[in-house]
Amino acid sequence: MTALHEVSPTPGRPAARTAPDPQLAQSLGLRYMRRQMRIAEFLKPDAVVEELRSTSKTEILRELSAALARTNPNISPQRLATVLEERERVNSTGVGEGVAIPHGKLPELSSLSASFGVCRAGIDFDAHDKKPTFLFFALVAPENSAGLHLKALARISRLFRNASFRESILAARGAQEIYSLILQEDAKA
């Protein structure tokens, strides 16, 4: 089984065997090593949209869903949009400061997946601060992944708290530059 890892020993102490999963670690009587989640694990360059053209919440969600579908070809953009729209009906995911994090869960997904888009004109996304929203980070997760889903949402939220980072994204030209900026900021955290 390749699920076990050797951890570099502390001087004078033997190497510790660890497992990447808490349940596996417990069942084997081993330590669990927490690994920090990285955005690149679920956001791919093909899912970044340099300029969202839509002017309404529903249209933005559809554009983000189309980008998500590029990295998840087995799931239709319509299905992804439906999941995001259903979540928006419960409560707006416009978190304020020009940022929205639409999210939802799909049973047919096997891992987290995300898309990111910029709308430089800004739209009314029913944000908590009542200000226009410019940056959209859509996240979909497998149905039974509450912990992972929440961890990803927290990571995204933490990343976009930085005002100078948000400004650099708005000033970026091209999807690749936006993606690189996101990965650079994520590496700092």
Active site members: 103
For 76-107, b/e burial (b = at least 16 CB within 10 A) is: ebebbbbbbbebbeeebbbbebbbbbbbbbbe
CA neighbor of 167 nearest in space, from 103, 100, 99, 115: 99
